[in-house]
Homo-oligomer: A and B are copies of this chain.
Amino acid sequence: MRGVVLRSPGDVRVEHRDDPTITAPTDAVIRLSATCVCGSDLWPYRGIEPVTGPAPMGHEYVGVVEEVGDAVRTVRPGQFVVGSFFASDNTCEICRDGYQSSCVHRVPMGAIGSQAELLRVPLADGTLVATPDLPPADLIPGFLAASDVLGTGWFGAVAAQAGPGRTVAVVGDGAVGLLGVLAARQLGSERIIAMSRHEPRQRLAREFGATDIVTERGDEGVARIKDLTNGLGAHSVIEAVGTQESMMQAIRSTRPGGHVGYVGVSHGVELPGEELFFSHVNLHGGPAPVRRFLPELIDLIWNRRIDPGRVFDLELPLDQAAEGYRAMDERRAIKTLLTF
Contacts and interface: CB of A to CB of B under 8 A. Distances in A.
A93 interface: yes
B247 A94 contact: no
A274 B266 contact: yes
A97 B283 CA distance: 17
Interface stretch (A176-184, A198-206, A255-263): A255-263
A230 B92 CA distance: 11
B273 A102 contact: no
Interface string A243-280: 01001000000011100001001111111111011111
Nearest to A280: B286
A143 interface: no
A21 interface: no
Binding site secondary structure of chain A? mixed
Q: Which 3 A-B pairs have the closest CB atoms?
A: A269-B273, A102-B256, A266-B273
Interface in A262-310: 262, 265-274, 276-287
B277 A287 contact: yes
Interface residues of A, number: 40
A98 B286 CA distance: 26
Nearest to A277: B266
Contacts of A266: 273-274, 276-277
A293 to B, nearest CB: 14
A80 interface: no
A257 B287 contact: no
Contact of A255 (B94, B271, B277, B280): B94
A87 to B, nearest CB: 16
Given A102-B256, A271-B270, A273-B269, A283 B280 contact: no
Contacts of A276: 266, 269, 271, 283, 286
Contact of A99 (B242, B257, B268): B257
A232 interface: yes
A56 to B, nearest CB: 22
Contacts of A231: 104
Contact of A274 (B104, B267, B277, B281): B267
Interface string A88-127: 0000011001110110100000000000000000000000
Given A270-B270, A273-B269, A94 B257 contact: yes
